[in-house]
Amino acid sequence: MSKRGRGGSSGAKFRISLGLPVGAVINCADNTGAKNLYIISVKGIKGRLNRLPAAGVGDMVMATVKKGKPELRKKGELTYNLNCWTRNPPAGGHSKGCNLQV
């Protein structure tokens, strides 16, 4: 294996679990006035058949505001992902403990 693909680092690269799929509603923790954000897409995910794109820590996502001021629609970066659980949309469909920096 060549070291060129990893930027010159040697050893194993640890995998970060992706806890926020497309369709997740997360709490917005900044001072813009948005309360809940709905993830539309994840930047840089090419995908595979029948697999939902998912975001993890540091991923750029496209989200819309579900609760809050309607003019606050922009891109954000997921900076802190702790204890994020997603439920099925009929049972509530929101996550707890997520931070999205907009």
- CATH number, domain of 40, equals 2.40.150.20
Task: Tell me the per-residue pLDDT of 76-100, one tens digit each, with 9 for 90 and over.
Answer: 666 665 545 555 555 454 544 455 5
Is 4 a member of any domain?
Answer: no
In a domain, 11, yes or no: no
Mean pLDDT value across the chain: 74
**Is residue 14 packed enough to be buried (19+ CB in 10 Å), middle (13-18) or exposed (0-12)?**
exposed
Let me know if residue 7 belongs to a domain. no
Instruction: Please state, as a whole number, how many other Cβ atoms lie within 10 Å of the Cβ of residue 23.
Output: 14
Determine the average pLDDT of the residues in 26-41: 88
Let me know if residue 2 belongs to a domain.
no
**Residue 59: domain span:** 18-101
Examine residue 71 and state whether it is found in any structural domain, yes or no. yes
Q: Which of 54, 3, 49 is nearest to 26 (CA)?
A: 54
How much is the pLDDT for 13? Answer: 76
Looking at the chain, the whole-number percentage of residues with pLDDT higher than 70 is: 56
Report how many domains make up the chain.
1
